Amino acid sequence: MEYKQLKSDIGLHFFRTIITSTSHELKNVLAIINENAGLLDDMNLMYQKGIPVDQERVGHLAAVTKEQVNRADKIIQRMNRFAHSVDEPVKKIDLRDALILLTDITLRLMASQRVKVNLISGTDSVAITTNPFYLKYLVWSCIDYVAKASGTHQTIDLEITKLKDGAGIYMSFAGLKPAPTERLFPTEKEKELIAVLDSELTLNESAGRLSITFPENIC
Amino acid sequence: MSEKVLIVDDEEDFLEIMAERMEGKGMEVTTASTTDEALAILEKESFDAVILDYQMPGMDGFTALKEIKKKKPESQVILLTGFATIEKGVEAMKLGAVDFLEKPANLEILTEKIKQAKTEKMLIVEKQTEKKIKDIILRHGA
């Protein structure tokens, strides 16, 4: 069976964005562990000079190190799961799981744009057969657009709804003010993703609503 | 006299441990976990060196660097980044950073850079003072 693929290699750009962001986060974790080790070294040198070591402080440093190791483990797990999104061009996925992974892995990217994304809890799991990587890319592109168009602190609520013949992702946010120059969205990139995913996108900027619907099965 | 340093990073654990280690080396350390907080501190205080994380939420390192230099042109800013590339390093220097170091940074090297930054800042301030005195003399006629 032939699946629809993007004509251009725009997917690589998304992949690069995620990998560079997560690797930066890992470097931050390493920096904390490195400074912890350095501080323990400093304390050891002081001890050798006869200065007593604060046991409580050593315990705290051990706890911080463990915490950072756990954090790094989670980052790597997410990175690994994300990388596996490209394994199969079409796969049955749980939409909620896909959005949890996307919001977790882009947390730092969103924070850098002062955007907070909430996945509305209580949403039932909805399974669809689609391209997992392109789906994440399209949702991320929409979040990124809203973030950049807002230009200020923005909270985006994400909701999943099961439809008769598919599923929908609904984003609500503080309405966007008219821009001095016309904003272009969806761009050619999103249009290509929409076509490949057989999805539909509607946007009401002033009302702060964006929806993307997906068929139950794109095959 | 000890070096007065401002560290700007959104990683609280990193700030806490770095500050402790630098204080252990005799430096006077102030921390800020956001660029807005750092800019507010810089309004009121002067530092020998500012250690600035390149990837801060809300404002990227280069924008923050420009803001700091606009507010306090004599500021000696050392950027810390996850991945230092030559291009980014050149751009940082063009914008007025004194150095661009990769995380995890070696504290011995960082300390050396801070000492150099302090000397550089003293020279800049001396020149500014000299200029001010000359201007006053010129205005009032020696």
**ipTM (interface predicted TM):** 0.83
Tell if the CB–CB gap between A38 and B105 is shorter than 8 Å: no
What digits encode the pLDDT tens for the residues A85-128? 999 999 999 999 999 999 999 998 998 888 999 998 766 679 99
Same domain, A111 and A210: yes
Same domain, A78 and A100: no
Task: Return the pLDDT at B137.
Answer: 85
Is A150 a domain residue?
yes
CB contact set of A170 (below 8 Å; sequence gap of 6+) = A158, A159, A160, A161, A209, A210, A211
Same domain, A168 and A198: yes
Segments forming the whole domain that contains residue A80: 10-84
Q: In chain B, which residues have their Cβ closer than 8 Å to the Cβ of A68? A: 13
The first and second tokens of residue B107, run together, are 């504290």
Tell if the CB–CB gap between A28 and B11 is shorter than 8 Å: yes
Task: Return the pLDDT at B45.
Answer: 93
Whether the CB-CB separation of B44 and B69 falls below 8 Å is answered with no
Same domain, A31 and A126: no
Task: Return the pLDDT at B58.
Answer: 80
Q: In chain B, which residues have their Cβ closer than 8 Å to the Cβ of A31? A: 11, 14, 80, 103-105
Task: Return the pLDDT at A74.
Answer: 97
Total structural domains within chain A? 2
Tell if the CB–CB gap between A112 and B14 is shorter than 8 Å: no
Q: Per-domain residue ranges for chain B?
A: 4-140
Q: From A22, A51, A84, give the residue that closes a domain.
A: A84
The CATH number covering residue A191 comes to 3.30.565.10
Tell if the CB–CB gap between A28 and B14 is shorter than 8 Å: yes
Is A4 a domain residue?
no
Task: Return the pLDDT at B127.
Answer: 83
Q: How many Å apart are CA B126 and CA A82, to the nearest integer? A: 54
Task: Return the pLDDT at B57.
Answer: 83
The CATH number covering residue A70 comes to 1.20.5
Q: From A84, A100, A118, give the residue that closes a domain.
A: A84
Is A3 a domain residue?
no
Burial B21-48 (b: 16+ CB within 10 A, else e): bbeeeebebbbbbbbeebbebbeeeebb
- Closest residue of chain B to A38, computed from CA coordinates: B21
Is A1 a domain residue?
no
Same domain, A55 and A97: no
Whether the CB-CB separation of B101 and B49 falls below 8 Å is answered with no
Q: Which residue positions in chain A have pLDDT lower than 50?
A: none
Tell if the CB–CB gap between B57 and A112 is shorter than 8 Å: yes
Among A35, A39, A54, most B C-beta atoms within 10 A, so best to mutate, is: A35
Same domain, A164 and A121: yes
Does domain B4-140 correspond to CATH entry 3.90.730.10?
A: no
Q: From A53, A84, A115, give the residue that closes a domain.
A: A84
Is A2 a domain residue?
no
**Predicted confidence pLDDT, tens digits, chain B (142 residues):** 789 999 999 999 999 999 999 999 999 999 999 999 999 999 999 999 999 999 888 888 899 999 999 988 999 999 998 888 888 889 999 999 999 999 999 999 999 999 999 998 888 888 888 888 888 888 876 5
| CA nearest to A128, candidates A213, A191, A202, A193 | A213
Question: What is the CB neighbour count within 10 angstroms for residue A175?
Answer: 12
Tell if the CB–CB gap between B11 and A111 is shorter than 8 Å: no
The first and second tokens of residue A86, run together, are 């490209």
- Closest residue of chain B to A37, computed from CA coordinates: B17
Task: Return the pLDDT at A153.
Answer: 80
